[in-house]
Amino acid sequence: MDKTLLRFIYIGSLFLLITKANSYAAIADTSALHGDTINKTTVTKRILNRDFNSIYQQNLRTSFFGQEFFQPEKTQLAADVIANFVIFNTPKSRFFFNAFARIKIRLLATRGAPVKSPSYMPGGVLYTRVNDDRFNPKFLSLGYTHHSNGVRGPTILPDGSFNVDSGKFSTNFYTLNYTTGRRTDKINRIINRYTTLGVEIHSGLFGKGVAEGLTGRYGFVRINGTYLYNLAKRDPDPIKTNSWVFNNWQRIQFDFTYIADKYNDYNAFNFKKRLNVSLKYYYHLPFLKDVSIMAGGGYRGQDDYNFSFQQSYGYATVGLSSGLSFMINKN
């Protein structure tokens, strides 16, 4: 074979090898850049998910221990104990799941100080965000709750009335809520506002999961709403000098429930029987991390304490409030 031809083949082959090598290098560089982009995107999403997880925790129910006044049945103590078990809470996901065990207790101011059959309300709530703005968060929550008094006696007496002393009370309900929030940062304050509106549907509406006699006499469709205004103030860091931390300081919470379905032939504008409202003020004690003094009042058109649902009254309340959260999984 001619030497010139051999040189040409050799040079051509070398050129092809160099060209392919450069192509592979370019692809590798592009992949590396693309990998960096994915990593940055992932980190951004995880930071956002973590911030929203903190927002969900701010909206969890808190426990209350104290006294209520002006009830038809006088009490020595009223308590709403809520243990939150945060089952799923990871920055890798936009979802957050909280299981809770809620017990409402009333210690009656009568001989022997009996506890009226408590309201047991275990359940769970799944949260997910619908936007990417931690300063103007928007999220949905879907929940399930079972409500009973733990008693197994007959619900209805022979005369057709409710057996309020030893009768079984039971209902199951589902909630779907939409929450919008706004966070405002100032030099010495952080202000969080949350507005929630949702619907509560009881399975009794479909003839299932409800104690005898509640159909037509208990609200199975409810519109719920909450407005939460929370102030955190800047305090000196107790460990680091010339550093600051923000601690919860004051909170105002307004709640309402409107019973929307037909019951006891009450018309739609009979707010005296259909509307529950409450306004509460919380002041966080500076020497305790998550305990506050709470005072407030409201009106119950249909009491939420099992068989007391037949009562309507205004009330005032004062006591201590605390959050009980058990973080089961790693954050």
Tell me the two tokens of residue 7.
């040189």
Dihedral angle computed from the Cα positions of residues 70, 322, 231 and 196, in that order, rounded to the nearest 10 degrees = -70
Question: pLDDT tens, 201-211?
Answer: 999 999 999 99
Across the range 124-142, mean pLDDT stands at: 97
Across the range 56-84, mean pLDDT stands at: 94
Give the integer Cα–Cα distance in Å for 275 and 190. Answer: 33
pLDDT band at 193 (very low <50, low <70, confident <90, very high): very high
Q: Shortest CA distance to 189 belongs to which of 251, 242, 232, 247?
A: 232
pLDDT of residue 243: 81
Across the range 45-59, mean pLDDT stands at: 95
DSSP character string of 166-211 = TB--EEEEEEEEEEEEEEEE-SSEEEEEEEEEEEEEEGGGGT-SB-
193 touches 228 (CB < 8 A): yes
Give the integer Cα–Cα distance in Å for 49 and 45. Answer: 6
Give the integer Cα–Cα distance in Å for 260 and 267. Answer: 10
* Type of residue found at 244: W
Place of tokens 């090598």: 21
What's the mean per-residue pLDDT of the chain?
Answer: 87
Across the range 217-230, mean pLDDT stands at: 97
Q: Shortest CA distance to 174 belongs to which of 198, 196, 207?
A: 198
pLDDT of residue 289: 74
Q: What is the DSSP letter of 163?
A: -
The widest CA-to-CA distance across the chain, in whole angstroms, is: 120
pTM for this model (two decimals): 0.85
Helices (H), the chain: 3-58, 271-274
Domains of the chain as residue ranges with CATH: 3-327 (2.40.230.10)
